[in-house]
Structure 1
Amino acid sequence: LSVSNCIRSVGNIDKLFDMNELNGKGNAEKTSLPLDNVQAIQEEMDRHAVDMIMATSKLYMESLEVRTCRPNWRSYLQSSMITQEDFNFITAYETVKGEEKRAFLENNKLQCARTFVSLMSNISKDQTVRCVLTMIDDMIQEDRSRVEMFISYARKEKQSVWTPFLALLTRADGFVINQVSLIITKMACCGVDLMDGADLTYFLTWLKDRLRTPGNEYIHTTARCLQMLLRIEEYRFAFVNIDGISTILSTFAGRANFQLQYQLIFCIWCLTFSPDIAEKMHRLGVISTIAEVVSETSKEKVIRIALATLRNLLEKPEDASIARENAIQMVQCKITKTLDLLMSKTVDDQEFTEDMEFLADRLQSSVQDLSSFDEYLTEVKSGRLQWSPVHKSEKFWKENTQRFNEKNFEVLKILIKVLEVGNDPLILCVAAHDLGEYVRHYPRGKTVIEQLNGKTMVMRLLTHEDPNVRYHALLSVQKIMVHNWEYLGKQLEKENQENKQKLTAPNRSKPLEANTATETKM
């Protein structure tokens, strides 16, 4: 497929991203984005329009072949698999073109929806279902308002518009399930009513599972669906509620080429436009993942969308303390060094330059008033523990141990959770070490750790497969036990002192008896 053909084809896909749709115009149910956010997303879509068609290239190439096939509709009619009404419509539809097609559809809206729903629901042959879905997709691409035909038909029949489409997601054919996922996405983005409830949860969960499916040849199509859906705020919150962010982050590992990296970061970027969601990301490892991608890629479009995402994570949170934590995380992930390297190169794009300068200024100001505990707290919350200097600083532990009790032992709970669910040997070593240091420096540390189930979590690591993890777990357990022995030793010493005092005290009982005897004699 030549680049020129791609560019000619982009018009169809890019119809989904005009300003009216992004701003929710004509769609009273959708939450509109502020105009500056709309423009930002639109400009980003326009900038990489050709990449968008390439992102769905496998599906696109297969659809070219599907369009060359013509099902034998008469055989379906003769076998009573379709009605005469459906046969008449579909054979007529295949022959009309251009303005004639528009007029034909305008005059047969309900029949169009009825026939397409009937065909895709009642025919089992994959090749024919492929043809039907491709016709539906092409029809919607030509005019987004045609989504309303299916919605109106569903209302008339008192059925869910989503049911017949969602049912096809269980098919085995890769083209079928991915083509219908794109159709569902476009209907959810272009229709008057939002997809919601169980239907939305089911579809988003399906997309999430497809991201995690090993060997998914259509993974770019899956990411493409999410790129479209996550521009709508209600869909963002629904996706976050099914732990979608963690799935996106896990998809970066291993097989994410630069195009997929761009698409996934684009999804995160869309999510950051919702302040409530942006405020949750500092706990999920978003910043460290993006920082790793930026440090390893040379693709400008990936770096651009990554820096725009990081900027949103500083600007969008309404809680200033979270924005500050995000800045500290970026510093710890060496974003400042990456920015220095990028800014040393000649960049013609003003917007790109502004993002770099903004990040550099904000991160520099964050470094200036950064305390050692702030740095430590941010590292712990990021989940990316490493042997930074504070962990082995006696001065740090003496000065800050009391702060581990703040916010209902927040830091300790995070460390213990890391031991429970973590699998990175380095992170487990550091977490076990820090719990031991807390016990060593805080008089009631053993009691606190036991109440939080920390001792059990540390002792579980004594049988870990990694020798370093076993070593640091053993040291931590020893600190907990030594603390106990010291307490026990003090108790024994106290009891010994009391016994000695009893032995050396004057024996008053015998003189008292003697006096009593004397009194008797008298």
Structure 2
Amino acid sequence: MASYAEGEPTTASILTRDIPWETFVVARLVSDRDLQLIRRYDKRPAETQTTLLDENGAAFTEAFLTVLRNVTREETVQYVLALLDQMLEADPSRAKLFHQQSDAHLASLPDPYTIFLRLLQRTDWYTQETACRLLTAIIDARPDKEQIIMNGGAPGASTSAAPILVAASEGVEQTVVTFVDWLCSQLRRPSHPSRSVPAALSALARLMKERSVRALFHRAGGVQLLAPLLRQSAAAGPATSPQLLYEAGLCAWQLSYYPPAAEVMATAGLVPGLVELARSANKRKVVRVAVMALRNLLASHAADVAPEMVELGLQKVVAARISQGGWEDEDIVATLEWLEEKLADNIQLLSTFEKYQKEVLSGSLDWTPMHTSEQFWRENIDKFEDKDFQILRVLLKLLEASREVRTLAVGCHDLGNFIAYHPHGRQIVGDLRGKELVMRLMMHPEPEVQKQALLTVQKIMLPKDKLEFLNAG
């Protein structure tokens, strides 16, 4: 069960209440039969309650649902929800009782979907949260789960088209649509400052086992809502509960199997959060869902996500996780090895002079792989001579005019590499006033710029034989 702040009701505290059941019979809100069933169950030992549910669980469920349908008093609603929550916590398979009919042949059976959707709109958070948890279990246990027909045709039809949801019961389908919308609203504007998001993610992680729910979440803009939550949760590290990290990662992993959602995921900012989960999570189940989601995205949208994964240092994360060992799940080992291989391939693809030119000409530099790759500098140093050293001149202009700390730091680093790898690098840089620019940056207020400027000046001052020794090393 969820943890509660001081002063907030809990299932245990609510179950200590005494409910005046007879008053609801007098008011004709529940029947005599319902009263008898409730009296037989309420305040009884757990063993007795289990026996009663085994004998005729559908009848007891109908009685409690009748109370929830007809009674609005907050204390009573919370009490019945607490009883049902306790029932499912003891045995989650009891959720199937909400889909069974007793032998009472009631003229008007209480509809659990309508009842719990209505309870989500109540103002007290205990009711909202418990109704959310119960409705999730009921939907997950329903016998008539939706099927997806793509383009109204065969299952093998194009997966890029909008899905059509087909359900045995139109009411059930609409319940799922409404519930997913409510869950997204909790991610967007939480009703409770600390528990809305965990409650919604927990429900979504369970329901998105179904392809149809992934489609609904995607169409409700859920991917865009999940991205910042995933980044914030991963960045918080130990301050975030492992279960929340797992459920956020699980949502991302399940969504990565749905092509329209995966397409949005590739550009919506989920990759940094997933990489951080893979890097910092202590629980292996969290690492597992993160790397599996990353694998799916890299397999389906390499052009969009590979550069970002490389820049975020995913290859180092993967190497560390492989060396860590002890993985009991062979799928994880295979996934890590696959990621290691594909990322190595993409580093080579990314480290091209054309991409380097594009970055320099953009006026903003970052620590992309080509800046730190010895192979890139050895293979491309002659290309710096093109168009009368055009790219080198632009690089020097950035060192003179840019106000971006990272651009200045990377620019100094690159100028040092040009000096180290070009046979006449020191002389060329001197002729273009590069030495003066870098020495000025040694006085920059940012330590990162100072450090890179100092390293570059050292390369300018080193004798040629020392530079050749440096390159050979």
- Give the TM-score of the pair, scaled to structure 2: 0.59
Query: Would the alpha carbon gap of residues 339 and 152 (structure 1) be closer, same or farther in structure 2, given more than 3 Å must change?
Result: farther
Is the CA contact (8 Å cut-off) linking 2:95 and 2:141 kept in structure 1?
yes
**Does residue 99 of structure 1 match 2:99?**
no
The residue that corresponds to 1:343 in the other structure is 322
The residue that corresponds to 2:247 in the other structure is 263
Rounded Cα–Cα distance in structure 1 between residues aligned with 2:304 and 2:370: 19
The residue that corresponds to 1:363 in the other structure is 343
Query: Would the alpha carbon gap of residues 301 and 326 (structure 1) be closer, same or farther in structure 2, given more than 3 Å must change?
Result: same
Higher relative CO (CA 8 A, sep ≥ 6), structure 1 or 2? 1
Query: Would the alpha carbon gap of residues 159 and 124 (structure 1) be closer, same or farther in structure 2, given more than 3 Å must change?
Result: closer
> Residue 192 of structure 1 is aligned with which of 113, 134, 143?
143
Query: Would the alpha carbon gap of residues 118 and 144 (structure 1) be closer, same or farther in structure 2, given more than 3 Å must change?
Result: closer
**Does residue 167 of structure 1 match 2:109?**
no
Range that drifts further, 279-288 or 250-259: 250-259
Rounded Cα–Cα distance in structure 2 between residues aligned with 1:267 and 1:154: 40
> Residue 120 of structure 1 is aligned with which of 48, 65, 68?
68
Report matched runs for 1:295-314 at 5 Å: 295-314=279-298
Rounded Cα–Cα distance in structure 2 between residues aligned with 1:374 and 1:243: 36
Rounded Cα–Cα distance in structure 2 between residues aligned with 1:91 and 1:237: 44
The residue that corresponds to 2:417 in the other structure is none
Rounded Cα–Cα distance in structure 2 between residues aligned with 1:274 and 1:218: 25
Aligned pair count reads 334
Superimposed CA distance per residue, residues 466-514 of structure 1 (whole angstroms, 9 cap, x where no aligned partner): xxxxxxxxxxxxxxxxxxxxxxxxxxxxxxxxxxxxxxxxxxxxxxxxx
Query: Would the alpha carbon gap of residues 308 and 143 (structure 1) be closer, same or farther in structure 2, given more than 3 Å must change?
Result: same
The residue that corresponds to 2:271 in the other structure is 287
Is the CA contact (8 Å cut-off) linking 1:81 and 1:122 kept in structure 2?
yes
> Residue 241 of structure 1 is aligned with which of 211, 215, 219?
219
Rounded Cα–Cα distance in structure 2 between residues aligned with 1:350 and 1:286: 25
Rounded Cα–Cα distance in structure 2 between residues aligned with 1:330 and 1:323: 10
> Residue 252 of structure 1 is aligned with which of 212, 227, 230?
230
Is the CA contact (8 Å cut-off) linking 2:113 and 2:135 kept in structure 1?
yes
The residue that corresponds to 1:273 in the other structure is 257
SS in 1 for 2:257: coil
Offset, 1:238: 0.3
Is the CA contact (8 Å cut-off) linking 2:230 and 2:270 kept in structure 1?
no
Rounded Cα–Cα distance in structure 1 between residues aligned with 2:367 and 2:327: 37
Is the CA contact (8 Å cut-off) linking 1:201 and 1:238 kept in structure 2?
yes
SS in 2 for 1:97: helix
Is the CA contact (8 Å cut-off) linking 1:93 and 1:101 kept in structure 2?
no
Rounded Cα–Cα distance in structure 2 between residues aligned with 1:216 and 1:143: 29
The residue that corresponds to 2:374 in the other structure is none
Query: Would the alpha carbon gap of residues 151 and 208 (structure 1) be closer, same or farther in structure 2, given more than 3 Å must change?
Result: farther
Letter in 1 for 2:205: Q
Offset, 1:63: 1.9
The residue that corresponds to 1:202 in the other structure is 178
The residue that corresponds to 1:330 in the other structure is 309
Question: What are structure 1's unaligned runs of at least 5 residues?
Answer: 1-52, 380-384, 400-424, 430-522
Is the CA contact (8 Å cut-off) linking 1:295 and 1:338 kept in structure 2?
yes
Offset, 1:102: 2.0
Is the CA contact (8 Å cut-off) linking 1:226 and 1:267 kept in structure 2?
yes
Is the CA contact (8 Å cut-off) linking 1:328 and 1:363 kept in structure 2?
no
Rounded Cα–Cα distance in structure 1 between residues aligned with 2:94 and 2:123: 29
Offset, 1:286: 1.5
Rounded Cα–Cα distance in structure 2 between residues aligned with 1:273 and 1:359: 17
**Does residue 211 of structure 1 match 2:162?**
no
Offset, 1:287: 1.2
Letter in 1 for 2:129: N
Rounded Cα–Cα distance in structure 1 between residues aligned with 2:353 and 2:218: 30
Rounded Cα–Cα distance in structure 2 between residues aligned with 1:153 and 1:290: 52
Question: What are structure 2's unaligned runs of at least 5 residues?
Answer: 147-171, 372-382, 388-402, 408-473
Query: Would the alpha carbon gap of residues 116 and 92 (structure 1) be closer, same or farther in structure 2, given more than 3 Å must change?
Result: same
Rounded Cα–Cα distance in structure 2 between residues aligned with 1:152 and 1:181: 28
Is the CA contact (8 Å cut-off) linking 1:151 and 1:161 kept in structure 2?
no
Query: Would the alpha carbon gap of residues 295 and 218 (structure 1) be closer, same or farther in structure 2, given more than 3 Å must change?
Result: same
Query: Would the alpha carbon gap of residues 154 and 87 (structure 1) be closer, same or farther in structure 2, given more than 3 Å must change?
Result: closer
Is the CA contact (8 Å cut-off) linking 2:96 and 2:141 kept in structure 1?
yes
Is the CA contact (8 Å cut-off) linking 1:211 and 1:219 kept in structure 2?
yes
SS in 1 for 2:120: helix
**Does residue 135 of structure 1 match 2:83?**
yes
SS in 2 for 1:166: helix
Query: Would the alpha carbon gap of residues 152 and 189 (structure 1) be closer, same or farther in structure 2, given more than 3 Å must change?
Result: farther
Rounded Cα–Cα distance in structure 2 between residues aligned with 1:291 and 1:151: 50
Is the CA contact (8 Å cut-off) linking 2:227 and 2:273 kept in structure 1?
yes
> Residue 10 of structure 2 is aligned with which of 58, 62, 74?
62
Q: Give the number of the structure whose residues are more often helix, by fraction.
A: 1
Report matched runs for 1:151-166 at 5 Å: 157=108, 161-166=112-117
Offset, 1:390: 11
> Residue 82 of structure 1 is aligned with which of 7, 26, 30?
30
Query: Would the alpha carbon gap of residues 279 and 123 (structure 1) be closer, same or farther in structure 2, given more than 3 Å must change?
Result: same
**Does residue 148 of structure 1 match 2:99?**
yes
- Give the TM-score of the pair, scaled to structure 1: 0.54
Superimposed CA distance per residue, residues 288-340 of structure 1 (whole angstroms, 9 cap, x where no aligned partner): 2212343444444432321121122234x3xxxx2443333321222112223
Rounded Cα–Cα distance in structure 2 between residues aligned with 1:342 and 1:390: 21
Task: Give me the identity figure in percent.
Answer: 22
The residue that corresponds to 2:203 in the other structure is 225
Letter in 2 for 1:338: V
Is the CA contact (8 Å cut-off) linking 1:58 and 1:218 kept in structure 2?
no
Rounded Cα–Cα distance in structure 2 between residues aligned with 1:169 and 1:150: 24
Is the CA contact (8 Å cut-off) linking 1:336 and 1:363 kept in structure 2?
yes
Query: Would the alpha carbon gap of residues 354 and 388 (structure 1) be closer, same or farther in structure 2, given more than 3 Å must change?
Result: same
Is the CA contact (8 Å cut-off) linking 1:339 and 1:360 kept in structure 2?
yes
The residue that corresponds to 1:441 in the other structure is none
Rounded Cα–Cα distance in structure 2 between residues aligned with 1:228 and 1:159: 25
Offset, 1:200: 2.4
Is the CA contact (8 Å cut-off) linking 2:227 and 2:270 kept in structure 1?
yes
Offset, 1:134: 2.6
Rounded Cα–Cα distance in structure 2 between residues aligned with 1:366 and 1:72: 69
Offset, 1:274: 2.7
